[in-house]
Amino acid sequence: MPGSAESGLVVVDPEPAELEPAEPEPLEPELAEPEPVRPAPVLPRLEFVSTQVDVTELVAEFDGDPELVIDSGGFISEIADVAISPDGKLLAAAGAKEVRIWEIHSGSLIHCLRGDRARTSYGDCNALAFSPDNEFLVVGVSDYAAHGNIRVYRTDGFDEINALLPGHTAPISKLCYSRNGSWMASADSDGNVAIWDWATRQMIKKIGPRDPQQPIVDELHFPGDEPVLAGVDFQGPFLLSVPELKRLSGQDQLPPRTLAWIYDVLTRQLEYPFSSTDDPRNLDLKLDAGKWTAAGIAEQDGRNRFWVGVWDARTMEQPVQSQPRTLYTRHRWSVTAIAIAPDHNLVASGDKFGEIHLWDASTGQQQAVFRGQGNPFYEAAYDGGPARIAFGTRPHPPSKWQRNDYGEATRVIDLTVRAIYDRTASAAGRDGGSDSQADLPTEIVSRGASRLRVMGTPGQANLRLEKLDGGETAKAYQFTTGRNPTAFSFVEHPLPGNGDPVLVGDNIGLFAIWDSTREELSRAYIGHDSLVSSICPSPSGNLVLSSSTDRTMRIWPLEEATPTGRFDFQFENSVVTKVPPESSSAMAGVQVGDKILDIDGLSITDMHRKMLSGEFDYRPGQSVPVTMSRDGASYSFNMTLTEGYDFSDPVLNIFIGDDDRWIIWTPAGYYDASPGAEQLIGWHVNRGPDKAAAFYKVQQFRDQLYRPDIINAILAGTPPEKAAREANAARGETDVDFRSPSDLALNHPPEVEFTAPELGDEVASPAVRLVATVRSRNGLPISEATVLVNGVSQAVLKPTDPAAQEMQIDMPVALASGRNDLEIIASNERATSFAQSVYVYAAPQPEAQGTASKSANLNVLAVGISEYQATPQFANLPLAASDAQAFVATAKTQAGGKLYNEVRSHVLTDDQATRTGILDGLQWLIDQTEVGDTVAIYISAHGFVDSTDNFYLGTHEVAVDRPRSTAVSWREFTKTIHADLPSCQRLLFLDLHPTRAAVSPQIRNPLLDLAAPEMATIFFSSNSLQQADLPDPVGNVGFSAAGIAQVLANPNADVQPDQPDSLLNAEEVSQAWLDAVREMARQQFYPVAFAPAKSKQQKVFELPPTQ
């Protein structure tokens, strides 16, 4: 099965789990951060090319402010549910606030379902199920409103929500169908179980939980084809009749296999793996097909074992099968969701890391792992300055795992050179670095006579963080149930408004400042979603860095808090847990156990939403009316609000994906990133509870949001708003904030709608007619549309009218045998559309009798400039010319092989490589290339910027004071690659030596232009173009040319498929080339390799026959 990290499919051999991290849970709503109050948007109407820009319609469609979220291509937190479609073609998984759907055969991520969400648990996707006829997918979400919280999608149209089903008034936790599709069953977080007539979509019966105090339903299934439901709640397994929902017992007439299953579970006839003693809470039952599966956790030899077992179903007349027939143990954290598909002999299991494993139900053989990019962070600290952060992604073993110490920092993200490297490389010559953990700042738990410790409360589940002075408890902060302090530290620098500040993080994602002279928080930092693993104030003392197992590092402000009004009693889930003496509530007679009905006329849920909408304007000392209940009777009083914590966004967020791709961004969306990482975050925009949400990757708005200058100012300590304001003023640009619906609408990209072919069409011919419409939604004229097939650009189309707001595309495209991905990317002057796509399947085409298939050709343009005519700013590059020749010699080994018939080359060195010579060389490439060929461009030269920061390729004759007439502009070069070449695979190899001015942190990295989806270019750069001092090559060949020669001489580069085929795809070449260059450069070079998602599996080179 092919694999693609971009698609979320990675075939891996996971490390055995060595620890059991604390279990993350959803962040409590009362700690969710309110959005800043913003004025009502002014809807602009501007004139462009005689066209009026009008965003009224778009702003009306947007339901609330856009939210910037991570899109890792998979999940980065706990999987809530998984399902395999009845036809065995699709795998669906729910987690956090989305549902992702993969095509099992190809491993491709084909849909991401997004709906209404907020920064509380609202919109969490908790459950899903396919209808037995394969026509529908239902998704259960967290929503209390009357409009319904079960979303219905048609499987032939996942782009929109087909319907919302009302009936539950608490978040949905479980969904399932009867085998014949007549019934759907659901459970909610209040423990209610309901049965639905699926044909009419009507709820016909609902019952409450067995124990209202412990209502959670962990599992709900139709175990067989009989009208019986099986579930698991806090008390254990239960059975219900359908549709009556009568609770059944052993005295009732039960289906034979269901009777045997519940008997075996209740009477402990089963032996769970690794001597597990706890009954599993996660299972799937397909007893009518003879199988059921369960998951659990056990300890063996001092390490945790996470297991999934498959048992055969039986009747009471058959012997007990106490142990599972198949055992799967390759998860690295607790399994949280399982689905078994006996008809297809498959099991899908999801875990707390956000990984979904697909494996053989009979053998336990792993078939694939679907995962998001990135890894949990277990340690992070400033390493010698604010722009260099040391971090670690491997946890300590259980013997060393403890609060404030979860892993070792072994790597560095260095934002001065925009690179990630091993800390051991610091010892090899990088300024200010070290490879010793002891040299990094750590959390401060003792200071003079004061120290911090975590203690439990006898008879209670709550933990508290205590500050001891002279051995005696001075103050304590008590955590709510389920929360566990994981990292904490005194703050060395005084903070205004805090008597003795302590930074604290917990297992669920809370990060806060506790004023340890009181028992309350003074600030809640909202952003993390999982265990906070480390805390480190900046060297200047005005910022603080945190890391988390949610795969992010975040930088926060240490500044004076602005107190908000806080309720003067403590509560959990609307129930009072503590009433301070002499508070207004105590004087009104409020007692522990009383329930909140409303505060200032709002329910607790509505109050949380008020916080999130930025409308929480209550202040200390304010009096608000409160209604409470006790033993069924209500009473009212006026509460005087006390001083409570304020809320704060991170000033910067950092995410590191696969292949060391990183992105760092502000709350307003300004970012800096390595090539390809711009696709890892995007703007989620609600469109109403019954509509699919809109989503825009930040890469689509690169011109407005790619701002390394703003990021550098913030790293230096400037507040984000001031940094953006000053940087934009210096460039004469207007501030943008895409959290404003009007700003996003004003910069909205064109939209693409396919008419033909339809998604999943099976085509008999070797070509298909592509019909689509491109439309402007805000009046901005359409600039162009790029058509791609299987990651290869087919055409760049422009409208005939420069003011056009609609453009028709109707063209034939050639297909390869098997799956073909057809994409269209459209742009206007401000933004680029998402790569809208459909896929079709083409039948294999028989070859005509007596003819041989024609191979494509490889056309190579190689430029190497060792000598510069009269430019003292540029030193000669002794190896550049010979490198160009060496690259061509390597490329010519591909002639007459499986991929290429001929290798045709055009080499330009030294005095041949003038501006005219290079442009003529590009024209030669255009003229020489036919549809289906592969183009390879190699350039070894200097790179520089002009007075307006435009990037240029230096030529033999270059004069820096006349760049437009003596050099090749990057804009000109990339336009040729994008728009002028015919339909062909594009490979680009760069060995550029940028001037010091060209690597200034203020300069945009030109490599990001190459990573744009519409470029459809596979590229390799020997350095990141952000490094001024480059190490000298080893030997007589430069790094880029020597790297590709080593790849083609390395049989170990051929890792896909499992049986080597001597053909290297773009992904294989990228990884092998990166390894080769890094080793040659002794880890002092920061090479970059990038292949678009749809191009990763394209075969680009052939290994020579083994001798």
Q: What is the distance between the alpha carbons of residues 679 and 673, in angstroms, rounded to a whole number?
A: 10
CATH number of the domain at 751-842, please? 2.60.40.10
Q: Tell me, what's the pLDDT at 882? A: 96
pLDDT value at residue 133: 98
Residue 725 has pLDDT above 50, yes or no: yes
CATH number of 565-644: 2.30.42.10
CATH of domain 33-62+372-561+646-670+739-745: 2.40.128.630
The residue written with tokens 């694939």 in the block is 368
Whether residue 471 has pLDDT greater than 70: yes
pLDDT of residue 299: 83
Assign 742 a pLDDT band (cuts: 50, 70, 90): very high
Looking at CATH, the fold of the domain delimited by 9-32+74-370 is given as Methylamine Dehydrogenase; Chain H (2.130.10)
CATH 1.20.120.1200 fits 856-1102, yes or no: no
Note the pLDDT of residue 1036: 64
Are the beta carbons of 366 and 70 closer than 8 angstroms? no
Residue of 28 and 317 predicted with greater confidence: 317
Q: 3-class DSSP state for residue 843?
A: coil
Give the pLDDT confidence of 103-149 residue by residue, as tens digits: 999 898 999 999 999 877 889 999 999 999 999 999 999 998 889 99
pLDDT band at 609 (very low <50, low <70, confident <90, very high): low
Over residues 241-270, mean pLDDT: 95
As a whole number, the mean pLDDT across the chain is 89
Q: What is the pLDDT of residue 412?
A: 95
Selection from 654, 784, 262, 443 nearest residue 270 by Cα: 262
CB < 8 Å & 24+ apart, contacts of 394-402: 395/18, 395/19, 395/21, 396/19, 397/18, 397/19, 397/303, 398/18, 398/19, 398/20, 398/302, 398/303, 398/304, 399/302, 401/19
Q: 28-32, 442-446, 814-818, 988-992: which range is least confident on average?
A: 28-32
Q: Tell me if 33-62+372-561+646-670+739-745 shares its fold with 565-644.
A: no
Q: Any bridge partners for residue 903, and if so which? A: 858
- Of 159-173, 196-210, 409-423, 887-901, the one with minimum mean pLDDT is 409-423
User: In Å, how far are 10, 22, 395, 408, 1020 from 16, measured between CA atoms?
Assistant: 17, 17, 12, 18, 34
* Per-residue pLDDT, 1032: 65
pLDDT for the residue numbered 1030: 67
Whether 669 has a pLDDT exceeding 90, the answer reads: yes
Per-residue pLDDT averaged across 525-532, rounded?
Answer: 90
Residue type, 463: L
Q: Is the pLDDT of residue 17 over 90?
A: no
For residue 14, pLDDT beyond 50: no
Res. 695: pLDDT tops 60: yes
State residue 539's pLDDT score.
86
Report H helices in 690-779. Answer: 702-705, 708-715, 720-731, 741-746
Residue 318 has pLDDT above 90, yes or no: yes
1064 has which bridge partners?
Answer: 1101
Over residues 289-308, the pLDDT tens digits come to: 999 999 999 988 878 899 99
Q: Is the pLDDT of residue 60 over 60?
A: yes
The encoded tokens of residue 1058 equal 């499992």
For 341, residues 6+ apart whose C-beta sits below 8 A from its C-beta are 84, 88, 286, 347, 348, 361
Is the pLDDT reported for residue 11 higher than 60?
Answer: no
Q: Which residue has the tokens 């084909």?
A: 110
Determine the 3-state secondary structure of 223 from DSSP: coil
* pLDDT: which is higher, 612 or 135: 135
Determine which of 418-432, 479-493, 610-624 has the lowest per-residue pLDDT on average: 418-432
Q: Would the pLDDT of 462 be above 90?
A: no
Q: Where are the alpha helices (DSSP H) in 175-270?
A: 256-266
pLDDT at 965: 96
- Is the pLDDT at 654 greater than 70? The verdict is yes
Q: Is residue 936 over pLDDT 80?
A: yes
In one-letter notation, the amino acid at residue 332 is: R
- Residue 518, pLDDT score: 87
| Alpha-carbon dihedral 971, 977, 982, 984, rounded to 10 degrees | -160
Q: Which residues of 1034-1047 are buried (b: 16+ CB within 10 A; e: fewer)?
A: eeebbbbbbbbbbb
Residue 38 has pLDDT above 50, yes or no: no
* pLDDT greater at residue 971 or residue 518: 971
pLDDT surpasses 60 at 422: yes
- pLDDT tens string 141-151: 999 888 999 99
Peptide bond into 441 cis (omega under 30): no
Domain boundaries, the chain: 9-32+74-370, 33-62+372-561+646-670+739-745, 565-644, 751-842, 856-1102
pLDDT at residue 1033 in the model = 65
| Pairwise pLDDT comparison (1059 vs 260), residue with the higher score | 260
Q: What is the pLDDT of residues 1000-1050, one digit of tens each?
A: 777 889 999 999 999 999 999 998 888 766 666 656 678 889 999 999 999
Query: In this model, does residue 20 exceed pLDDT 50?
Result: no
Output b/e per residue, 543-557; b: 16+ Cβ within 10 A: bbbbbbbbbbbbbbb
What pLDDT sits at residue 559?
Answer: 79
pLDDT at 441 over 70: yes
Helix, coil or strand: residue 159: coil
31-56 average pLDDT score: 49
Contact 886, 1037 (CB under 8 A): yes
What backbone phi and psi angles, to 5 degrees, belong to 1021?
A: -125, 130
pLDDT (0 to 100) of residue 361: 98
Task: Identify the bridge partners of residue 1101 per DSSP, sorted by sequence position.
Answer: 1064
| Report for 132-136, 263-267, 711-715: range of highest mean pLDDT | 132-136
- State the sign of the Cα–Cα–Cα–Cα dihedral 689, 691, 692, 696: negative
3-state secondary structure of 1099: strand
Percent of the residues in the chain that have a pLDDT greater than 90, as a whole number: 70
CA distance 1020 to 1043: 10
Query: 728 by DSSP, 3-state: which?
Result: helix
Of residues 614 and 909, more confidently modeled: 909
612 or 1073: which carries more pLDDT confidence? 1073
885 vs 760, more confident: 885
pLDDT of residue 1035: 60
- Asked if 193 contacts 217 with a C-beta cutoff of 8 angstroms, the reply is yes
Range 731-736 average pLDDT = 88
Question: Using 50, 70 and 90 to split pLDDT, how confident is the model at 52?
Answer: confident
Confidence of residue 611 (pLDDT cuts 50, 70, 90): low
Q: Please check the confidence at residue 7 and state whether its pLDDT lies above 50.
A: no
Answer yes or no: is pLDDT of 27 > 60: no
Structure tokens belonging to residue 106: 């190809």
Q: What pLDDT, on a 0 to 100 scale, did the predictor assign at position 398?
A: 77
Q: How confident is the model at residue 614 (pLDDT cuts 50, 70, 90)?
A: low
Query: Which of the listed ranges 45-59, 430-444, 599-613, 961-975 does the model predict with the highest average pLDDT?
Result: 961-975
Mean pLDDT of 720-738: 92
Tell me the per-residue pLDDT of 1067-1101, one tens digit each, with 9 for 90 and over: 999 999 999 998 888 777 789 999 998 899 899 99
Which positions ≥6 away from 787 have C-beta within 8 Å? 770, 793, 794, 795, 796, 797, 809, 811, 813, 822, 823, 824
One-letter amino acid at 825 equals: I
For residue 959 the two structure tokens come to 């004069």
What is the structure's pLDDT at 371?
A: 94
pLDDT > 70? residue 806: yes
Strands (DSSP E) along 234-352, which ranges? Answer: 236-241, 247-248, 282-286, 291-300, 303-312, 326-328, 335-341, 346-351
